[in-house]
Amino acid sequence: MIQAKQALLAALADSLQEIAPGSNAPAAFESPKQAAHGDFACTAAMQLAKPLKANPRELATRLIAALEAKPAFQQWVQSLEIAGPGFINIRLKPAAKQAVVAEVLAAAAQFGHRAATGQHVMVEFVSANPTGPLHVGHARQAALGDALCSLFKTQGHDVTREFYYNDAGVQIATLANSTQMRLKGFKPGDAEWPEAAYNGDYIQDIADAFLRQETVKADDREFSASGDVNDLDGIRQFAVAYLRHEQDLDLQAFGLKFDSYFLESSVYAGGQLEKTVERLVASGKTYEEGGALWLRTTDFGDDKDRVMRKKEGGYTYFVPDVAYHINKFERGYTQCINIQGTDHHGTIARVRAGLQAVGLGIPQGFPDYVLHKMVTVMKGGEEVKISKRAGSYVTLRDLVDWTSRDAVRFFLISRKADTEFVFDIDLALKANDENPVFYVQYAHARICSVIRKWAADMGGDVATIAGADLSLLTAPTEEALMLKLAAYPDMLSGAAAGLAPHDIAFYARDLAGAYHSYYAAERVMDQAPELSRARVALLAATRQVLANALAVLGVSAPEQMSRDAAQDQPETE
């Protein structure tokens, strides 16, 4: 069906030029709101009506006549009908829908993937300062970012996962001071304990390791402790390396590895910050007022101008962000996406304004942002707020330990990023259809079970299903399942364009639902051998696309699963 659709779109483009030479009406199909209206809908006649000053239904009639003369429409289309003010509803021949089964089986894990584009995309996410364990907000970023990266790869882009963090500044100084206080025998609650100090048990773990003069190694650094409680700089460096190592363990538990790490300190040490300020001053977009240096961000759509350098000295936090994003642009990335919490919304306009003001030809709207809302964790009907390890919040590793990597990934990607999310621990542990990740994974496992049974009981050879007679797949539930399979490539491209990886989770649930409906309606065993083989081919294609979708989300596709006893359904095959 994918090849059929491409051929039909090419024929539509030719036909549009025949009836309206030079028009820019897009050659595109839409999905009808009701399945009864057909398989595709075309609105081109209505779009052309105004510029051509013609009746849209008359244009639709002319367009249908042009389409019916095209070999592709003769081969793949059963009927063309005008509806409403000028819609054209298109019904495909069964062979067009059945072809998707062979296409999936031939492409296998590459089904839905596009050819290399040469585009270099960076996704920056998590980006947690090394001051404590990764919390549930970082977990949501990890799920969103990793899925988005995998999604971009399906579209043929070269993708870099980058982790940016501050290895200096006030928070790191607080970390060092907190660790030193623990080294000196103080703890939270003592009169000497600073109010701003970090209270989690992990601070004591760092102090103990420092006294043992351990060497800690993270993905981007390694440091050996001196054991000297008065070596504050050594304590700082050790604490940063220790917590980066801990964060790496969190990320390993999540199944995520970054391609590069970028330190905020390098913006200062490398002179990039000063060069950025010089460029901004030279652009004429800055001015002095009240002893401070301001950037005219209102020239670029911001609601007010922003201070760059404070009157008491030091730059405001968005200036190093501008320098960092100039660095991204100069590294050759054609698209950059930042995944951050909604509390970063205020930085978008000023960072983009700074990037426009430097005059380097950076595109407007660079970088893109995906902002996510908070995650609330529920267990036993009550909100979980405290993690002993972290001191004041639930960590990423808590979620993985309480449930599973698959559950955390699927749950946190199953809603739009800009909506608040309730992570229900009890639901994530259920082995029934209430649990969305179980529902999808169980569809894959059930298909594996049916195919194994077919091979064992009927002597079927899985290697032969690619040659099955797909014309036998005519049941309504089979047609619905094949149409859902055919929608996968366009779903991926739309999700990538919209920075919407949650669309993949939605699709996986819909595909699992279409399979479960099919499983309830049709039998694979006890059929004529060729019909049985054709249905196994359809099941194998469905299994492949489920596995492909789950892989983009970083979720496994198990071949065997068991359900809660009260929910179990016997095999009907």
What confidence score (pLDDT) does residue 358 get? 94
Chain mean pLDDT for the chain: 93
Looking at residues 13-28, what average pLDDT do you find?
A: 86
Q: Is the pLDDT of residue 13 over 80?
A: yes
* pLDDT tier for residue 215 given thresholds of 50, 70 and 90: very high
Task: With beta carbons less than 8 A apart as the criterion, state whether 363 and 334 touch.
Answer: no
| Model pLDDT, residue 386 | 65
User: How many Cβ atoms from other residues are within 10 Å of residue 37's Cβ?
Assistant: 17
Q: Which residues of 429-466 are buried (b: 16+ CB within 10 A; e: fewer)?
A: ebbebebbbbbbbbbbbbbbbbbebbeeebebeeeebe
Beta strands in 245-317 (DSSP E): 260-263, 286-289, 292-295, 306-309
**Model pLDDT for residues 25-34, shown as the tens digit of each residue:** 788 888 887 7
Q: Tell how strand 335-341 and strand 120-124 pair up.
A: parallel
Helix (H, G, I), strand (E, B) or coil at 467: helix
Mean pLDDT of 487-498: 97
Give the pLDDT band of residue 51 (cuts 50, 70, 90): confident
| Proportion of the chain above pLDDT 90, given as a percent | 83
Q: Which of 171, 172, 241, 230 is nearest to 206 (CA)?
A: 241
Mean pLDDT of 206-213: 98
How many C-beta neighbours within 10 Å does residue 514 have?
Answer: 20
pTM of the model: 0.90
| Alpha-carbon gap, residue 506 to 484, rounded angstroms | 12
CA 563 to chain centre: 28
* Average pLDDT, integer, range 406-432: 97
pLDDT-derived band at 381 (thresholds 50, 70, 90) equals very high
Determine the pLDDT at residue 168: 78
Q: What is the pLDDT, as a whole number, of residue 568?
A: 44
Identify the sign of the CA torsion 329, 335, 341, 347.
Answer: positive
Per residue in 272-325, pLDDT (tens digit) is: 999 999 999 999 999 999 999 999 999 998 999 999 999 998 899 899 999 999
Confidence (pLDDT) at 564: 75
How is residue 135 written in tokens? Answer: 């919390």
Q: Comparing 160-164, 363-367, 458-462, 551-555, which segment has the lowest mean pLDDT?
A: 458-462
What pLDDT score does 573 carry?
41
The mean pLDDT value for 182-187 works out to: 96
Question: How far is C-alpha 551 from the geometric centre of its chain's CA atoms?
Answer: 11
119: amino acid identity, one letter: Q
**Model pLDDT for residues 233-271, shown as the tens digit of each residue:** 999 999 999 999 999 999 999 999 999 999 998 998 889
CA distance linking residue 238 with residue 231, whole number of Å:
10
pLDDT band at 468 (very low <50, low <70, confident <90, very high): very high
How high is the pLDDT of residue 388? Answer: 52
